[in-house]
Structure 1
């Protein structure tokens, strides 16, 4: 299999065009904006502790008031520890090498099962995604597109089956739910199980696209190239861009600070996340963690952290390889944001993994940090 590196200016990319030499240089020093406040916070905590000890010893403060004061002091200490953990992760950018842009060439490529999990999205939106996925630059006999429908939409099923009559690598499935269904993670696991029964058997790689995410033609060749180059690479995920962002983006729905800075910093630390859409994962890495975790709402981030805890590497690609939709109402935006900010607590299992895991110091730091939330 042939993998080549794309040089600057060889292929236009929206993200790369906005991430010039000056930004690349300054990104390396973002950790300073985290470390300096941490040092000031530690200094303030030291002074607060000394004052509380003095007040307790001379009797100026006692009883419930003293206990409450020490409780507040402990909370601030936990906040400091969290900030320090995040700073250690960000400091990795100082000497890290920016991830190269790679492309997989030719027809000698691994098989990929592309899952499009859907659940009651508008039919025309799903249709756009399916058509674009079928039209990617990748040998048609080396990838399958599986529309996994949790909404059991009869119109969608009829449309997919009609299109599949002339497109042999397109499939439709809908699961029967019993008890806790696992939301999107359960849907993904169902589609992976179904893929094992399709002609040709299981594929080496599994990819996922949200129902509203339209991939660029080069998407799969760009992501798979990193998995080919590094046999221990478990998951690769590109940035997400959006084509319906309002003028001036008043709610910051484009999340540029993440795609152009924070996710790059995490990748420098070797802690790139599965960010929910556009990802390509090695099937072996999914099997190692028992499938996508169904006990949380952020199966994407959590699954990639579990895979890293098992010794797999991950990569974030700062490339514009997919375009989707942001919530169109304020209520929908708040609902999405609330789900994101609840995500940090769900990573706690990575802090105390099994004895055979390969959890790194950096991953443990990230597990305890508020920066694990995609809302940050």
Structure 2
């Protein structure tokens, strides 16, 4: 009797069917279901990696062996990092019930609190907005603005807003030094609060920020409370793909999915802004650490060594500005990478002799593999197909049928698992693009910091500024354009010329699929490298009716949205550009206005707010959670990505 040959694509289709059947029935809130999902994903990864190791390495020549083994090592490092993330995701902790349960303790004890706003060169308007949020807390906290720029205009702002302006004679140790100087000043005066909140200059605390964070300190073992960072403006990818409210920002998976899971294992860590610190614990560890430019993560490690944990409260309690340009995005990521590598080399790092628990070391290993595993692997995935088209060298020696049988189940299960955990908060295509935008610099920075220790300069991520012009990042764009041309040219040469080294290769079809994915990544990266103008300020939706007063005529208008420089209302009258008058808005009073833009449905007017009206507007925008942030799901994110690419 003849045996029936199973098609190579069978296992991929079977895996897809099982995923579609089972994943919708599983609940992320069920610990057993989380174990099942991570177990299935890790199992499929292990099966694939064992097959890769024993059956696919191409060792026929020295060149192919070097390429094949080198790529496999990078793949192992990146995959191990992914496996550790899947292990971490098996747990999750939600502290919202703890907050409500601890409110009675908070109101009974009323511990003292302060808010530190750290600034260096941020715009006055950004600082004014942040001060307004800090002063609008429903729990008493004295506000201090720590100005490392020592600017007279900031001193004047603080005097006007009645918050204390603190400076120091130098900028030693950057942000950590600035905060330590603030703590030292309060200690010298005998005014040290029980707790101090940390806000970056561009982060506006919502009214419940202090009270909800403070409630978690009923547990004396809590040294730091960290809250998520949400952004009310689009990051560079969201802006260019035109999907701010439908696409996840680059940090959404980390704050909404990964940090709650780390908290379940007791390995959550401070991320700087939007956190609150117990000052007695801070004193015990010797202040904010200065031996890493990411003092926030090192703060949590030092706290852990002294018996204090970092609690993660996954509640939207502050809103800030995401990096608005590619340059700022790259600066921020490189700084994080350098800081992480400094921690790895420090006495508190992965290989230290201190009494770190195995789970703390696993968390540090996952961080190390993220920076030193995933970024080099992404680069290799971009460059290896080009090398194949040009030379015929391969990274694996395996029939296409076997590759499909082992690779497809691994990719499908892992993709379904991450999507199930995150509900659209991470899209592989955008993640790959965002990493590749800065990958060469990350690889260089991580290797340089590990091999050549020493103090590194702290580069501030610029926020605000003029975004009214189109800016082309030619150096970065040319990098991706060259890769795109080499990839496409290599494919055309391979399929079109018998002289191509891969013309008769039985692997070129699978490498062609790989190359087409790379082409799509390069196209998105090139789009992002061209920064188009964006609004100077993000707008908040506003409803209701206002009166536009021009001379003796008062015209009712239906409001749509508002910022500190403009208001939009429905085009339901005879308007002309240049019409002047005042607009009476319930939340602000009477505001000077001039019509600046007219479309078929919307009229846009420039407005000029007084300082008091600016404060009232900030209360309106941030006091009621009106500033919009992404609300994503897997389906909406995918559709938004497709729509955004089509519009470009």
Distance in 2, Cα, partners of 1:99 & 1:68: 50
Equivalent residue number for residue 42 of structure 1? 46
Q: Would the alpha carbon gap of residues 354 and 112 (structure 1) be closer, same or farther in structure 2, given more than 3 Å must change? A: farther
Q: How does 1:223-302 map to 2 (within 5 A)?
A: 223-228=213-218, 230-245=219-234, 248-249=243-244, 252-253=248-249, 255-302=251-298
- Asked if 2 retains the 8 angstrom alpha-carbon contact of 1:293 and 1:302, the reply is yes
Give TM-score, length-normalised by structure 2.
0.46
Structure showing greater relative contact order (alpha-carbon pairs closer than 8 Å, 6 or more residues apart): 1
User: Cα offset for 1:369?
Assistant: 0.4
2:198 to 208, 211, 214: 208
1:332 is displaced (CA, Å) by 2.3
Give yes or no for contact 2:134–2:204 (8 Å, CA) kept in 1: yes
Q: Matched residue of 1:206: which SS?
A: strand
Does residue 181 of structure 2 align to residue 177 of structure 1? no
Matches within 5 A, 1:78-117: 78-93=77-92, 99-103=96-100, 104=103, 105-106=106-107, 108-117=109-118
Query: Contact 2:27 / 2:33 at 8 angstroms: preserved in 1?
Result: no
Q: Residues 89, 323 of structure 1: CA spacing in aligned structure 2 closer, same or farther, 3 A cutoff?
A: same
What TM-score comes out, normalization by structure 1 length? 0.75
Aligned partner of 1:325 among 321, 324, 330: 321
Whether the 8 Å CA contact 2:269–2:301 is kept in 1: the answer is yes
Larger Cα Rg: Structure 1 or Structure 2?
Answer: 2
For 2:197 and 2:329, the matched residues in 1 are separated by 26
Alpha-carbon contact 1:185-1:292 (below 8 Å) kept = yes
CA distance in 1, matches of 2:32, 2:320: 29
The one-character-per-residue Cα deviations of 1:72-108 (angstroms, maximum 9, x if unpaired) are 5444444444333333322223xx5665251534373
| 8 Å Cα contact 2:38/2:87 also seen in 1 | no
Q: 1:365 aligns with which of 362, 366, 385?
A: 362
CA displacement at 1:273 relative to structure 2: 2.1
More moved, 361-370 vs 339-348: 339-348
The secondary structure found in structure 2 opposite 1:273 is: coil
Q: Helix, strand or coil for the counterpart of 1:320?
A: coil
Match of residue 219, structure 1, among 209, 229, 240: 209
Q: CA deviation at 1:162?
A: 4.4
Measure, in 2, the Cα distance between the counterparts of 1:30 and 1:135.
Answer: 40
* Mapping for residues 345-364 of structure 1, pairs under 5 Å: 345-348=341-344, 349-355=348-354, 357=355, 359-364=356-361
The residue aligned with 1:123 is 124
Structure 1 match to 2:151: 153
Query: Cα deviation per residue 1:194-247 (whole Å; 9 max; x = unaligned)?
Result: 12123x43222221011111112221111111112x111111011222223356
* Unaligned segments of structure 1, at least 5 residues: 1-21, 165-169
Tell me how far 1:156 sits from its aligned partner.
0.4
CA distance, structure 2, for counterparts of residue 316 and residue 310 of structure 1: 18
Contact 2:226 2:269 in 1 (8 A): yes
Aligned-pair RMSD on alpha carbons?
A: 3.3
Distance 1:187 1:35, change over 3 A: farther
Q: Is the 8 A contact 2:147 2:167 kept in 1?
A: yes
Distance in 1, matches of 2:269 and 2:201, equals: 20
Structure 2: which 5+ runs fail to align?
A: 1-25, 372-430, 436-648
Q: 1:350 to 1:286 in 2, by over 3 A?
A: farther
Q: Compared with structure 1, are the counterparts of its residues 111 and 23 closer, same or farther at alpha carbon in structure 2 (3 Å cutoff)?
A: farther
> Partner residue of 1:194?
185
Rate the CA distance shift 1:80–1:132 in 2: closer, same or farther, 3 A: closer
| Kept in 1: contact 2:31–2:90 (CA 8 A) | no
CA contact (8 A) 1:302 1:346 kept: no
CA contact (8 A) 1:117 1:188 kept: yes
Pairwise CA distance, 1:36: 4.1
Go from structure 1 to structure 2 and tell me whether the alpha carbon gap of 1:32 and 1:338 turns closer, same or farther (over 3 Å shift): farther
Q: Counterparts of 1:132 and 1:309 in 2: how far apart (Å)? A: 34
Relative distance call for 1:335 and 1:36 in structure 2 (3 A) is: farther
Q: Quick one: structure 1 residues 67 and 325, their matched pair in 2 at CA, closer, same or farther if it must change by over 3 Å?
A: closer
How far the C-alpha of 1:287 sits from its partner, in A, is 2.9
